[in-house]
Amino acid sequence: MADQHTKKREEMDDKYKWDLEKIYANETNWEDDFKKLQQMIGQIAALQGTMAESPEALLRVMQTSDDMGRIAEKLYVYARMRRDENNANHVYQALFDRAERLGVEASSASAYIVPEILTIPETELKKYMQQNKDLAIYQHALEEILRQKEHILSAPEERLLAMAADISMASSNIFTMLNNADIKFPVIKDEKGNEVELTKGRYGSFMESSNRQVRDDAYKALYGSYQKLINTLGASLGSSVKKDIFYARARKYPSAIAASLDGDNVAVEVYDRLIEAVHNNLEPMYRYMKIRKEQLGVDDLHMYDIYTPLVKDYKVNIPYDEAQQTMLKALQPLGEEYLENVRAGLNEGWIDVYENEGKTSGAYSWGTYDTQPYILMNYDNKLDDLFTLAHEMGHSMHSFYSNRNQPYVYAQYSIFVAEVASTVNESLLIDYLLEHSKDKQEKMYLINHYLEQFRGTVYRQTMFAEFEKIIHDRAEQGEAVTPELMSTVYRDLNKLYYGPEVVLDEEINIEWARIPHFYSAFYVYKYATGFSAATAIKEAIRQEGRPAIDRYVEFLKSGGADYPIALLQKAGVDLTTPEPVESALRYFARLVDEFESML
């Protein structure tokens, strides 16, 4: 924006603001729903113990729970988004606090539902569904509860595990405190020779610096600080691994990884196949590292050299109106119906575009089942902002199609598939920009941007996933998970994933000590599978046209009506085979070729 000062909310042009009046026309309506939900909490609490009485009794509880969820969601989302417009607004701070508290009350009052369903014999449940056709809608939801029945313990055992939840968070909480509060980093010299205290925030900028000495100093300073705490950090991550194994065994799973993946009904083979596919396609990564070494003109490529851009920041100014038009052109391969809905989103108050005083930073897509999607942005005319717009619109379109085609119980899609729609949009955008780029420097900048994104999301997250699997396997076989073991495993993986062109400095051995994701084990593989699935879908759309578009839109409409693997199969992506990941890796290889040919 042209103005030097950040505008106040009331100074912003309404056409760049989202339209939250579509959720509640005024706060009186919000208060009416608040009272309504308070009454419903009493109603659902009174129904406890009735679910096994008859099909109608079961249906009544399920429907009441859905009705409560819809109102609680609207109250919460409206209050939170109003607060996000200006976090200093006390009226909406209070509204949000009230919505949050009432939401917790609603959850507590309905917490009996799953345990009570599990007391109904399976044959009886099936009879209920035959006797009352209105229960058919809940078939998948009930089957999902029954599917995990063997891992649900007796009421006293479940209570004990619930009581241990606080203790189970200890290793993660200790790491968070060490990593965010207690660790101290030294002072280093920046590009201008000024002495600057290293912070985690500044570390990323220093790693992208064109001054190699700055990169080297920042790298050694950061890892030197972690090295001083290595025994404590080793004990905290080792304890987290033991916690994962304890819960898996308590719930009668064969391994910690099987327990974690079961939530999405994903077989361990899918995880293994991702690792295998990446192992079989490491050559393009090695070539990319070789190009990096040559472009930087260094005799040895160190780990602190792999983040600095190969094409110096290509400055481009993209006003918001231009960004909208560029995105619409890039998304043309998705067909006219999809585009019509995107245009509606751009013109009907979905997006809160610019920064204003007190506004929440960053970007997100949100909304409720009963409203349109909403997008919060802080648009600043940068290339990244154009990508953010396409990314968040992907999420919003997924919600738009899902909410209009699924009942409330299946409208929410799982994290496993959540990044697919946003990444399809980003992939189409990068393709469009590359095809229409007349400037060699710009084209190289775009390819470098995408190669880095791919390396960080597919190769690096798969390496993380493999590290998690190995240290849990070793612990399950009775080995002590020590800092030495973790460092050896981590070094070997870096050697494998980055190849012969990269010098493995000693510091990289302990990178595991600073990765927060490792305290939520077996999660990061979803980034790699989601990115791969999106790339495979985008490639199919470009090659096949209409049949691939129809499959993709069908996937968007399906929300959470089936398990993630089955939903992606609807879109033509079968993650039970290595093909989607290999297809994405082939695309990476093609871009490496193209980048190399331009040098």
Q: Which tens digits make up the pLDDT trace of 235-260?
A: 999 999 999 999 999 999 999 999 99
Domain assignment present for residue 450? The answer is: no
pLDDT at 180 over 80: yes
pTM to 2 decimal places: 0.88
pLDDT of residue 155: 67
* 392 is annotated as an active-site residue: yes
Which of 489, 519, 549 delimits the end of a domain? 519
Q: Could you report the per-residue pLDDT of 457-486, keeping only the tens digit for each?
A: 999 999 999 999 999 999 999 999 999 999
Q: Could you report the per-residue pLDDT of 10-31, keeping only the tens digit for each?
A: 999 999 999 999 999 999 999 9
Q: Could you report the per-residue pLDDT of 483-514, keeping only the tens digit for each?
A: 999 999 999 999 999 999 999 999 999 999 99
Q: Are residues 223 and 122 in the same domain?
A: no
The mean-pLDDT minimum among 106-115, 176-185, 274-283, 307-316 falls in 307-316
pLDDT of residue 3: 44
534-543 average pLDDT score: 94
Q: Are residues 282 and 355 in the same domain?
A: no
Domain assignment present for residue 154? The answer is: no
Consecutive H or E run containing 502: strand 502-503
pLDDT at 74 over 90: yes
Contacting residues for 160 by C-beta, under 8 A, at least 6 apart: none
> In terms of residue numbers, what domain contains 435?
332-441+525-597
pLDDT at 2 over 60: no
Q: Are residues 75 and 217 in the same domain?
A: no
The one catalytic residue in 73, 392, 468, 539 is 392
Q: Are residues 176 and 60 in the same domain?
A: no
Domain assignment present for residue 320? The answer is: no
Domain assignment present for residue 81? The answer is: yes
- Within 226-349, strands assigned E span 301-302
Binning pLDDT at 50, 70 and 90, where does residue 1 land? very low
What CATH number is associated with residue 53? 1.20.140.70
Under DSSP, is residue 16 helix (H, G, I), strand (E, B) or coil?
helix
pLDDT of residue 276: 96
Domain assignment present for residue 476? The answer is: yes
Domain assignment present for residue 512? The answer is: yes
pLDDT of residue 181: 83
The total number of structural domains in the chain stands at 3
**Which residue in this structure is represented by tokens 């006390």?**
90
Q: Are residues 410 and 272 in the same domain?
A: no
Which of 115, 147, 179 delimits the end of a domain? 147
Q: Are residues 363 and 501 in the same domain?
A: no
pLDDT of residue 411: 97
Neighbours of 423 (CB within 10 A): 24
Q: Are residues 20 and 132 in the same domain?
A: yes
What CATH number is associated with residue 338? 1.10.1370.40
Domain assignment present for residue 2? The answer is: no
Q: Are residues 89 and 183 in the same domain?
A: no
Which of 477, 498, 519 delimits the end of a domain? 519
Q: Are residues 93 and 109 in the same domain?
A: yes
Contacts by 79-83, CB closer than 8 A, 24 or more apart: 79/30, 81/18, 81/20, 81/366, 81/374, 81/376, 82/20, 83/360
Q: Are residues 413 and 553 in the same domain?
A: yes
370-388 average pLDDT score: 95
Domain assignment present for residue 228? The answer is: yes
Q: Are residues 35 and 102 in the same domain?
A: yes
Q: Are residues 418 and 288 in the same domain?
A: no
